[in-house]
Structure 1
Amino acid sequence: MRVESMSPGARWWYALKPASWPKVLVPALCGQALGAAAAGRVGAGALAFGALWMIADVAFVVLLNDWGDREVDALKRRMFPDGCSPKTIPDGILPAHALLLAGLGAGAAALLVAWVAGVALARPLLLPLGALGLLVFGAYTLPPLRLNYRGGGELLEMAGVGGVLPVLHAYAQCGAWAPAWLAALLPGLLLLALSSALASGLSDEQSDRAGGKRTVATLLGNAATRRATEALLGLGALLWPAASLLAEGAPPLWSVAPATAVALHFRARLVRKSPEAVTNAFAAQGAYKRELHRAIWWGTAALSAAVLAAGLRAGGGPG
């Protein structure tokens, strides 16, 4: 890719990293589906809120993450000039101040959307929950906390992606922040989000270590991170049918079993690719993470569709 020949629109599109959006969009859609299942109907206003809030939230997260990681991104480009894609700030695609201002503007837009929707939909917790989602990310990568550097960033990502996002969007649909079906399935969603958070550090292991980041990959190494990723993925998927069988007020087994089958199918493919995804094997790590993302995103999508069908069929799941 020749940076100097990119148009302004292409530069911003590259900076927004659309390939990474499902990491945030899929749990949001899952929350919408579980909230609609609890309500027994799909609310158009809540869907509109979800679409607008996610556009602003994704821009906030992606742009400010690049701003916060600009120094370690530059370090990685120096260490592996041919081993990773161009970085937005170090490679001169966009200046740091432009990403900072655009990211902060996107965060303000997300709060505005949550406030307006909270009034229009009579959902007073939308603004506090939306602010919580932004604050979780802020604690993850922005000063003064920067817990992705100090340690604990993966747990914050688990809480934000696997917890706050589904809760926020379920609340928009049904007016309850923890409907019974969501509460039953949330532990599985949290573990899947944690597995993704651990794996995201694999390709940055050595540059993050050199840059002073404290992640599971920098502290425990590549092999232990892969083992933990695979274990969390499998356990998270199995918690869905376990909740259906054991938790009171959980969705029926037929609505969660297909999602578990999808996730475990791609987990098996992930495990087969695991031995090649060693430190600095960037192409193999990319193939490894593609199978992980398929397990999480397609499994969660299957869960969302089937549980929504169950809720609509029953005229609303437990609140």
Structure 2
Amino acid sequence: MHVETMGLAERWWYALKPASWPKVFVPALFGQAVGAAHAGRLSVGALAFGVLWMVADVAFIVLLNDWGDRAVDALKRRMFPKAGSPKTIPDGILPATALLAAGLGAGTVALLLAMVAGATLERPLLAPLAALALFVFIAYSLPPLRLNYRGGGEVLEMVGVGAVLPALHAYAQCGQWAPAWFVALAPGLLALSLSSALASGLSDEESDRAGGKRTWASVRGNASARRGSEVLLVLGALLWLAAPWMTRKAPPLTVLLAAGVVLVFAARVRRRSPGAVTNAFGAQSAFKLELHRAIWWGTLALSGLVLLGGLGLLGGAPA
């Protein structure tokens, strides 16, 4: 990629990192599906809010994360001049001030959307839940808390992606932030979210350590992060399989199929793992690709089947 030949629109599209969007879009879709299944109908208004809110939220997260990480990103570029894709700020794709302004603007839009939708859909807690979701990211990446630098960022990401985000969308659909099947399925989603969070630090292990950023990989090392991700991936599938007993129902086909998808990709993750050692950036990308496929495709399968069951279109699924 030649940065100097990129147009302004292309620079902004690159900065928004569309390949990373499923990390937040998929849990949001899960929340929408569980909420609609609980209500027994799909609210088009809540779905429209969900799509618009997620666009604003993902811009808020991606742009401000680059702004917050600009120093350690620049350090990584100095340590590994030819490693990985260009960094938005250090490689001059966009200035830091532009990302800060756009990210704050996106967060403001997300709050306004939640306020309007809360009044329109008669969901009084929608704006507070949206504010909580935004705050989780602020605590994760931005001063003064900046927990992704102090330690504990992976746990905060697990809570934000695996609980707060889907709860917000479930509430938009059905008026309850924790319907029964959400409570039953959330432990598996939390495990999968933590699996992704541990793996996210693999490619930045040495630069994060040099920059004082305390991630699981930078503190405990590459092997520990990979092994933890693999174990949590399998644990997430097993927790989904246990979910029917939490609701005192027989195991539905829904959970079996979704867990099966995760486990099939988990085997592929395991095969990629031995090569994804420190600074093997290509092998790490392949490892994380299979990991994300396990999480995203498994959660999408679960979401679709839960929704069909809740709408009465699939027998034996949760409602």
Q: Could you say which residue in structure 2 is the equivalent of 1:169?
A: 169
Question: In the TM superposition, what is the alpha-carbon distance from 1:317 to its structure 2 partner?
Answer: 5.7
Relative contact order (alpha carbons < 8 A, sep ≥ 6): 1 or 2 greater?
1
**Partners of 2:149 and 2:214 within 8 A in 1:** yes
Q: Secondary structure at the match of 2:98?
A: helix
Q: Could you say which residue in structure 2 is the equivalent of 1:77?
A: 77
Q: Could you say which residue in structure 1 is the equivalent of 2:25?
A: 25
Letter in 1 for 2:102: A
Q: Secondary structure at the match of 1:29?
A: helix
Q: Secondary structure at the match of 2:214?
A: coil
Q: Could you say which residue in structure 1 is the equivalent of 2:214?
A: 214
Deviation sequence 1:50-97 (CA, Å, 0-9, x none): 011000000000000000000000000111111111100001100000
CA RMSD, aligned part only?
Answer: 1.3
Q: Could you say which residue in structure 2 is the equivalent of 1:295?
A: 294
**Partners of 1:118 and 1:124 within 8 A in 2:** yes
Taking structure 1 as reference, are residues 79 and 280 closer, same or farther at Cα in structure 2, changes over 3 Å only? Answer: same
Q: Could you say which residue in structure 2 is the equivalent of 1:121?
A: 121
Q: Could you say which residue in structure 2 is the equivalent of 1:285?
A: 284
TM-score, length of structure 1 as denominator length: 0.97
Residue 255 (str. 1) matches residue 257 (str. 2): no
Residue 269 (str. 1) matches residue 272 (str. 2): no
Q: Could you say which residue in structure 2 is the equivalent of 1:232?
A: 232
After superposition, residues 28-177 of structure 1 pair within 5 angstroms as: 28-177=28-177
Select between 252-261 and 270-279 the one with higher mean Cα deviation.
252-261
**Partners of 2:181 and 2:247 within 8 A in 1:** no
**Partners of 2:115 and 2:127 within 8 A in 1:** yes
Deviation sequence 1:146-175 (CA, Å, 0-9, x none): 000000000010000001111000000000
C-alpha distance in 1, partners of 2:40/2:47?
14
Gaps of 5+ in 1: none
Q: Could you say which residue in structure 1 is the equivalent of 2:188?
A: 188
**Partners of 2:203 and 2:281 within 8 A in 1:** yes
Deviation sequence 1:159-195 (CA, Å, 0-9, x none): 0000111100000000011000000000000010000
C-alpha distance in 1, partners of 2:7/2:243?
50
Tell me the number of residue pairs that the alignment of Structure 1 and Structure 2 aligns.
317
Gaps of 5+ in 2: none
Question: In the TM superposition, what is the alpha-carbon distance from 1:248 to its structure 2 partner?
Answer: 2.2
Identity of aligned residues (%): 71
Q: Could you say which residue in structure 2 is the equivalent of 1:199?
A: 199
Question: In the TM superposition, what is the alpha-carbon distance from 1:250 to its structure 2 partner?
Answer: 6.0
Q: Secondary structure at the match of 1:313?
A: coil
